Amino acid sequence: MKLNVTMHHYFKSFVYLVVVCLFMGCSGKTQKDFESLNSSKDWTLKLSDSCTGNWQDNWFLDGLIATVENSEKGMNFTAGPEFRNDAHHAVLWTKESFKGDVKIEYNYTRTDSQVINVNILYIQAQGIGKGPYDKDISKWNHLREVPKMSLYYNYMNPLHISYAAFPMVNEDPENDYLRVRKYPVTDAITFKDMEVEPSYYDIGLFLPNISYKVTVIKTDSQLLMNVNGDGKNKLYTFDVSDKEKLVEGRIGLRHMYTRSARYSDFKVSTK
C-alpha cells in the first residue's frame, strides 16, 4: 500500500513537471520571474517583526490551549498536545490588515518531530460578512476560542497554504505535501473544490530544527512560494487567476494540534 501511494505521488509530480516543461520550455523562467518580482522596488514594507519582543504587539491568538513565547531566536508557537481535539488547534493573526498584492517573508524552524497534521499560512483573510462573521475577523474572536477548521473554511475567504504538512493518519516521515486552497466552502464549492492545482508531494523540506527562509508573493493572478534552506532553494507556483480576488485581509499562522514551530524576521510588504 505504501509503495502504491508513493508511486501515485511521484506520478502526479511527474505529470506536473511535464506540463510545466511544455508550457515554459523548462527554461527556469518561473524562478527568474520570482526573483524579479521579489526584488521589485515597488514593494512597501508594512510590517516588520523580529519576533523577539512581545508577540502581542503585532499578533492576536485563536485558541485557549496554545502557547506563544518570545526568545532571542524568535517566536515559539506551540499548539495543544492532544490529537483530534479541536480546542488544541491554534492560529496567530496579524493585528494589521493588508491590501492588494502582498509579499510575506519569514524564517521558519519546525520544533516538532510529528509526521501527522499540518501548518497553514492564511493570506489576506476576511470574514464572509454574513451573520456574526464580520469581514473584520477580530470582531468574532470569541467564536474561535475553539479554533476548529470548519470555522475558517466555511466563514472566511483567504488563500491557504498547507506546508510542513502530513496526512492525519501517517507513519512515513517522507510523506509530506504542499497544497493551496481558496476559501470559503459554499453551496456550489465543496472542500475538495477549494483546492488550487497542483499539489506537491514528497517535499523534503521543513525538516525539524532546520531554519528555512519562506517568501510568499500573492498577486491577482498568481501565488508563489519560495523556500530556501538546508542547501535547497525551491519555488512552488499556483495560478489563482480564476479565483475570487483577495482585496484585503490579515495574515494568519495555523498549527494543527500537536504541531509547533519558531518564527523570526516576519515581514509583510504591499504594492
How many helices and strands in the chain, by DSSP H and E?
A: 3, 16
Q: What would the DSSP string read from start to end of 61-120?
A: EE-SS-EEEEETTEEEEE--S-TT-GGG-EEEEESS-EESSEEEEEEEEE----SSEEEE
For the chain, give the percent of residues with pLDDT over 90. Answer: 86
pLDDT in tens, 135-154: 999 999 999 999 999 999 99
Which triple of cell numbers denotes residue 114?
A: 510529528
> How far is residue 38 from each of residues 43, 186, 267, measured CA to CA in Å?
8, 34, 13
Distance CA 269, CA 271 (A): 7
Name every residue whose Cβ is closer than 8 Å to that of residue 79 and which is 6 or more positions away in sequence. Answer: 63, 65, 66, 88, 89, 90, 255, 256, 257, 258, 259, 260
CATH class of 29-270: mainly beta
More confident residue, 18 or 60: 60
Amino acid 29: pLDDT: 62
pLDDT in tens, 86-113: 999 999 999 999 999 999 999 999 999 9
Of 87, 94, 86, give the one whose Cα is nearest residue 136: 94
Confirm if 195 and 179 have CB atoms less than 8 A apart: yes
Confirm if 96 and 48 have CB atoms less than 8 A apart: no
pLDDT in tens, 40-61: 999 999 999 999 999 999 999 9
Amino acid 26: pLDDT: 38
Ordered alpha helix ranges (H), the chain: 2-24, 29-38, 149-155
Residue 161 has pLDDT above 80, yes or no: yes
